[in-house]
């Protein structure tokens, strides 16, 4: 009989979907649920095949394809949540912005002057990206695993719009914020309104959690973040107060901003690989934590992947933890490493005595 129950449990574990919403909402679960940023992406041959045929934008804009790609990693691994396949740039064309991918976003006509900002449109909520709502509905009918919707944070979207492309230290954007403070505030206001509408639409369509990606928050000092980052993030998150879904906030390379992050109305903070979860836990008291294995570790030998995954799990003890990477899955990541990571997370009992020490 006990064998049967074990069988049942094993089958449920293989299906995934265990405890993500509970942990993201603040429960100190016995196993850490796991999903990975960029779990749908270039390391999967089945993703690359579709991409070759359709190209990235067409995949994003075709609900059936976006839903299929969202589900691809769930078919391979017992992940505990799906993240919608799309991009943080998806809502911007409705504002009148032209965007190309190579493979990161490129803005051929960057926003630089007050007139450039004034030329941007504020679309109605249902005009922003209706195909995303449809993709959310399709995923919800195809899996019982929780679906995470997402958007880019206003500061990160503004960084792309002003700089014109990604990467580097965004010196042009950092100058612009301080040289054109009024245009900057207008742009961030507009992006905040669009992001609120875009996330509300995803929740209305069926997204069960939302993650706000602030990939470039870390380029700012604390004062600049306090003026141009946090207030807008707060507005977006507050607008979802009554949405009834856990709110996740990711700020990359932002250890210096944690005291400010602690004050934001998010249930869970996603930690990049630079800061041990045990240290983040003290600064971010009361928040669930998500993270934070260095994605580069997935290229190391299998025993190292398992050992570093367990080390991350131990650092995450003492409060709610959703396992993830410290940033997205890298291209060429070995698929076996992802499988080993997920299995290692699911095998680890967080409340067992022997697992309770943390050397981070």
Please tell me the distance from the alpha carbon of residue 356 to that of residue 344, in angstroms, as a whole number. Answer: 16
> Of 99-107, 310-318, 338-346, 351-359, which segment contacts ligand CP3 by CB under 6 A?
99-107
Q: How far is the CB of 137 from ligand CP3 (least distance, A)?
A: 17
The helix-helix angle for 181-205 and 130-142 (nearest 10°) equals: 40
Q: Can residue 166 be called a binding residue for ligand CP3 (CB under 6 A)?
A: yes
Least distance between ligand CP3 and beta carbon 150 (Å): 5
User: Does 132 contact ligand CP3 by CB under 6 A?
Assistant: no
- With respect to ligand CP3, which residue has the nearer C-beta, 18 or 70? 70
Tell me which of 229, 276, 320, 328 binds ligand CP3, using CB under 6 A: 328
> Cβ 122 to ligand CP3, closest distance in Å?
22
Dihedral over Cα of 180, 251, 195, 192: its sign: negative
Residue burial 89-102, b: 16+ Cβ < 10 Å; e: rest? bbbbebbebebeee
Please give the backbone phi and psi of residue 56, each rounded to the nearest 5 degrees, phi first: -65, -50
Size of the site for ligand CP3 (CB under 6 A): 24
Does position 215 interact with ligand CP3 (CB under 6 A)? The reply is: yes
- Binding segment for ligand CP3 (CB under 6 A), chosen from 37-45, 129-137, 183-191, 289-297, is 37-45
Distance, first Cα to last Cα, the chain: 41
Q: What stretches of the chain show up as alpha helix (H) in DSSP?
A: 2-15, 20-24, 45-54, 56-61, 63-76, 114-118, 130-142, 154-163, 171-179, 181-205, 222-224, 230-238, 258-261, 277-283, 302-315, 335-347
Backbone angles phi, psi at 193, to 5 degrees: -60, -45
Task: Draw the binding track, 218-257, toward ligand CP3 (x: CB under 6 A; -: no contact).
Answer: ----------------------------------x-----
Residue choice 77, 213, 249, 323 for contact with ligand CP3 (CB under 6 A): 213
Q: According to CB under 6 A, which residues from 257 to 296 bind ligand CP3?
A: none
Bridge-based pairing of strands 105-106 and 100-101 is antiparallel
* Bridging pattern class, strands 147-152 and 105-106: unpaired
Which of the stretches 33-41, 126-134, 223-231, 267-275 binds ligand CP3 when contact is defined by CB under 6 A? 33-41
Reading the block at residue 191, the tokens are 């992006």
**Taking CB under 6 A as the rule, does residue 41 contact ligand CP3?**
yes
Shortest distance, CB of residue 294 to ligand CP3, whole angstroms? 14
Q: Which residues of 216-229 are buried (b: 16+ CB within 10 A; e: fewer)?
A: bbbbbeeeebebbb
Region 60-89 residues binding ligand CP3, contact defined as CB under 6 A: 83, 85-88
The yes or no reply on residue 210 touching ligand CP3 (CB under 6 A) is no
Sole window of 96-104, 116-124, 179-187, 197-205 interacting with ligand CP3 (rule: CB under 6 A): 96-104
User: DSSP 3-state assignment of 32?
Assistant: coil
Note the residues at the interface with ligand CP3 (CB under 6 A).
37-42, 51, 56, 83, 85-88, 101, 103-105, 150, 166, 213, 215, 252, 327-328
């Amino acid at each position: 009989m006990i064998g049967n129950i074990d069988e049942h449990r094993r089958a449920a574990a293989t299906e995934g979907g265990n405890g993500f919403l509970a942990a993201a909402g603040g429960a100190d679960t016995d196993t850490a649920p796991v999903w990975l940023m960029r779990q749908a992406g270039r390391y999967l041959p089945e993703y690359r095949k579709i991409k070759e045929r359709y190209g990235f934008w067409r995949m994003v804009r075709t609900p059936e394809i976006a839903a299929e790609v969202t589900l691809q990693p769930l078919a391979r691994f017992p992940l505990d949540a799906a993240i919608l396949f799309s991009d943080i740039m998806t809502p911007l064309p409705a504002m009148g912005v032209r965007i190309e991918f190579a493979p990161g976003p490129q803005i051929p006509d960057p926003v630089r002057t007050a007139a450039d900002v004034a030329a941007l449109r504020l679309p109605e909520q249902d005009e922003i990206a209706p195909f995303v709502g449809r993709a959310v509905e399709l995923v919800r009918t195809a899996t019982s695993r929780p679906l995470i919707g997402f958007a880019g944070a206003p500061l990160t979207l503004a960084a792309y719009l002003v700089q014109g492309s990604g990467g580097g230290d965004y010196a042009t954007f950092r100058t612009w914020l301080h040289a054109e403070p009024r245009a900057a505030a207008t742009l961030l206001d507009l992006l905040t309104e669009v992001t609120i509408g875009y996330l509300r639409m995803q929740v209305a369509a069926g997204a069960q959690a939302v993650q706000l990606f602030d990939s470039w928050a870390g380029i700012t000092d604390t004062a600049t973040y306090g003026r141009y980052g946090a207030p807008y993030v707060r507005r977006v998150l507050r607008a979802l107060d009554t949405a009834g879904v856990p709110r996740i906030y990711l700020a990359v390379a932002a250890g210096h901003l944690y005291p400010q992050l602690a004050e934001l109305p998010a249930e869970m903070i996603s930690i990049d690989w630079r800061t041990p979860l045990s240290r983040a836990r003290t600064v971010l008291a009361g928040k669930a934590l998500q993270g934070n294995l260095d994605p580069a570790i997935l290229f190391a030998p299998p025993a190292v992947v398992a050992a570093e995954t367990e080390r991350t799990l131990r650092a995450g003890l003492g409060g709610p933890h959703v396992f993830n990477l410290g940033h997205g899955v890298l291209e060429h990541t070995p698929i076996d490493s992802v499988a080993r990571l997920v299995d290692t997370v699911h095998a680890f009992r967080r409340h067992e005595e022997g697992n309770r020490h943390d050397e981070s």
